[in-house]
């Protein structure tokens, strides 16, 4: 087999692994909130343990990328793709950590009943998952326009976060007994907000991979190129 086709085949395999890692992380994110909602302690323990598999997969992909670079002769665009894989796996692992964090919050709240039924937190998780799915698709398709269409979804996540924040603040003011749990729930919302922010990092990386230009996708200020 020619060197180029070996390279292409291996790159496709690595990208499939990135997608598999992405699916694991997407599942963790939504499940962590579902477990919190259902007060499922056993499931949360399992999710915390499962995070190790995500971490190991990230390091395996990184190692495969470095081996590919060392053994083949990638051209400039390939270099950007491989660098993007390294960045994306790091971000995915961190998003996985946020999901694990939410599982831990469930364990920390323990058997105590929730202050209120969870509605906005699951919505935030689903939106963050949708953003992540689209960002990975944009990477695989090298679709700059798709990548640029994702940041406005982050505004919706931010709005939900603000809503949760206001609501939980009201609980804290009304009842000092609720402070601990309200804070835990605020951190859970914070984790989801950060997870969505990390998806924006992925989108920026997709643009860089295709165009060679680094942009900042702060939706309040639009998309700005970094000089």
Binding site for another protein (CB under 8 A): 51-52, 55, 62, 66, 69-70, 72-74, 79, 82-83, 86-87, 90, 97-98, 100-102, 104-105, 108, 165, 169, 172-173, 176, 179-180, 183, 186-187, 190-191, 194, 208, 214, 226-227
Round to whole Å and give the CA distance between 181 and 13. 44
Q: Residue 134: CB partners within 8 Å, gap ≥ 6?
A: 146, 149, 150, 153
CB of 102: closest distance to another protein in angstroms?
7
Identify which of residues 137 and 172 has a Cβ nearer to another protein in the complex.
172
Identify which of residues 50 and 133 has a Cβ nearer to another protein in the complex.
50
Cα torsion through 29, 30, 34, 40, rounded to 10? -40
CB of 128: closest distance to another protein in angstroms?
15
Round to whole Å and give the CA distance between 165 and 94. 23
CB of 113: closest distance to another protein in angstroms?
20
Q: At what angle do helices 179-211 and 120-141 cross, to 10 degrees?
A: 10
Identify which of residues 133 and 171 has a Cβ nearer to another protein in the complex.
171
Round to whole Å and give the CA distance between 215 and 224. 5
* Residue found by looking up tokens 């499940």 in the block: 31
Identify which of residues 81 and 137 has a Cβ nearer to another protein in the complex.
81
CB of 193: closest distance to another protein in angstroms?
11
Identify which of residues 74 and 122 has a Cβ nearer to another protein in the complex.
74
């Amino acid at each position: 087999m020619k060197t180029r086709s070996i390279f292409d085949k291996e790159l496709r395999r690595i990208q499939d692994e990135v997608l598999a890692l992405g699916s694991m992380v997407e599942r963790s994110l939504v499940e962590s909130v579902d477990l919190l909602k259902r007060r499922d302690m056993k499931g949360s323990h399992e999710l915390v343990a499962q995070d190790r598999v995500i971490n190991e997969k990230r390091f395996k992909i990184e190692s495969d990328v470095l081996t590919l670079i060392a053994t083949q002769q990638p051209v400039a665009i390939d270099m950007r793709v491989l660098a993007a894989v390294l960045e994306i796996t790091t971000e995915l692992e961190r998003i996985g950590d946020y999901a694990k964090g939410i599982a831990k919050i469930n364990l920390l709240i323990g058997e105590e009943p929730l202050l209120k039924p969870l509605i906005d937190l699951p919505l935030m998780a689903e939106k963050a998952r949708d953003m992540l799915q689209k960002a990975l698709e944009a990477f695989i398709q090298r679709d700059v326009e798709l990548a640029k269409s994702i940041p406005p979804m982050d505004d919706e996540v931010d709005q939900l976060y603000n809503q949760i924040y206001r609501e939980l603040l009201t609980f804290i003011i009304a009842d000092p007994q609720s402070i601990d749990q309200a804070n835990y729930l605020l951190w859970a919302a914070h984790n989801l907000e950060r997870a969505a922010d990390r998806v924006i990092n992925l989108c920026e990386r997709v643009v860089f991979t295709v165009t060679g230009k680094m942009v900042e996708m702060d939706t309040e200020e639009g998309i700005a190129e970094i000089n």
